[in-house]
Chains A and B, each alone.
Chain A
């Protein structure tokens, strides 16, 4: 019997092959028959409608496009023609700076809220009202106030990654086991040492869970934000390819978004494992 991990990998590969095969079959050339409805055929012209190729690219075409992008990911030929690597780097830069700013604010603030019942009660209404606001709703305000699309995108990321980190930090700090605090007190630890050497390591796993949720949301939001403000970034890339009617490029963009998102999540997951502990 193969180990579970190997069996799971085999099933995954099988599912992938199945998916690709179905995709391939569904997008095979339609052999002269009209493949789309009459109205659409009129719109796009008979040649496109009955032509050798379906309008939806197949896996081979998308794969070829992907390879093409991977071969030269970092070219830059003007504002509307940059390599996918360059676009991803812009998006990553925004996400990471917004996220870092949010972490630098949310974690100390969450610490304060978690430590002090007064701060918790005083700040709770703000958090309750601000949290459900879609981060994109801030975009016009940010554009007006900051007068810069890049800074506005970073601000939107800052706002959306703030809440999970804030709430998790406060929760993690507030629920540090009482006896661990008591141990520290019997050893006459001063408040800074108590915070740094007991509360922080005790709450670290919860804080990292918040960071993981935040980076996930940030990566979701950046695509929408860049579609909105345009210029650069993977969101803009996808939107631009829609304007170019290049479905293959859109699919490559979508695939890249998924891969980078997974990478971000795994990266934080790795660090989280270093600070996790079993009780």
Chain B
């Protein structure tokens, strides 16, 4: 049973005064296993943030359901930590105050000292020890994003939802933060759903990459399995020829197929670029080829089946 399951999700905005309705996306199906890191890639405006907001419970879908841990979600909750696209720190609180705000909400019965200690500890994990008493306005973009990550992490959510967390950062800061995030996520065996528009970021971080076609009527067209070993690092990534196969596949999709793919209906295809001559039909796929197949090949298979049954 998948940890998170999205079934037949659609978002429609009613057209104003006689204009036709806008179907942002429809028939979106995917699922996440516990401890899995999944990235969602798609062109700007295709509805990625909307999907994340639905998962967070901040927006209601026009159709479909989101099931987390066996229960359909009905609103936002402390079981899902959200890192917002533009960090969304509360500017009147200090760095420590922002994280403590979340900790206090999560454990209202804790005494203030324990809340502070917890907040401090999480800030140290993202490398912000010493900056606790700064205000968000005094921080650099990377530091703000770190606070946002610490805030989401501090409440020990069952799953993390990240909306282009490093989108506005320079390449160097971005790299450092990716490493940090990966370290924290792996240490906590955190389930992560992350939006990005950076192909390399997705290959570095994700176990699976969801490819979304361009809207209107966007859909999740392909699920690309990351066939690189999980021990991959930013330093050795580009030495692996497999990396280029995945990268080219993703870029091909974004450059040429994202716009035309919307029309083709049916379930998303499971793709493993570079193995078995590129794309493998999901149903009859021999899973042993994947370097990480041993860990969750079984559940992956289940995912594919469920995707088909929903289509």
Contact = CB atoms under 8 A, between A and B. Distances in A.
B146 to A, nearest CB: 16
Contacts of B287: none
B13 interface: no
A277 interface: yes
B283 interface: no
Interface majority SS (helix, strand, loop, mixed), chain A: helix
Given A197-B101, A277-B137, A278-B135, A188 B76 contact: yes
A187 interface: yes
A187 B78 contact: yes
Interface stretch (A142-150, A178-186, A243-251): A178-186
B106 A179 contact: no
Interface residues on B, range: 20 to 34
Nearest to B59: A182
B299 interface: no
A232 to B, nearest CB: 42
A180 B90 contact: yes
A179 B84 contact: yes
A189 B91 contact: no
A201 B105 contact: no
B78 A277 contact: no
Contacts of B84: 179, 182-183
A202 to B, nearest CB: 7
A277 B82 CA distance: 24
A186 B59 CA distance: 11
Interface string A175-214: 0010110110111110000000110011010000000000
A31 B88 CA distance: 74
Nearest to B102: A187
A271 interface: no
A70 interface: no
Interface in B83-114: 84, 86, 88, 90-92, 101-102, 105-106
A185 B106 contact: no
Interface of B: 56-58, 75-78, 80-82, 84, 86, 88, 90-92, 101-102, 105-106, 135-137, 155
Interface of A: 177, 179-180, 182-183, 185-189, 197-198, 201-202, 204, 275, 277-279
The 10 A-B residue pairs with the shortest CB-CB distance, nearest first, are A278-B137, A187-B105, A179-B88, A277-B92, A186-B76, A185-B76, A277-B91, A201-B92, A186-B82, A279-B91
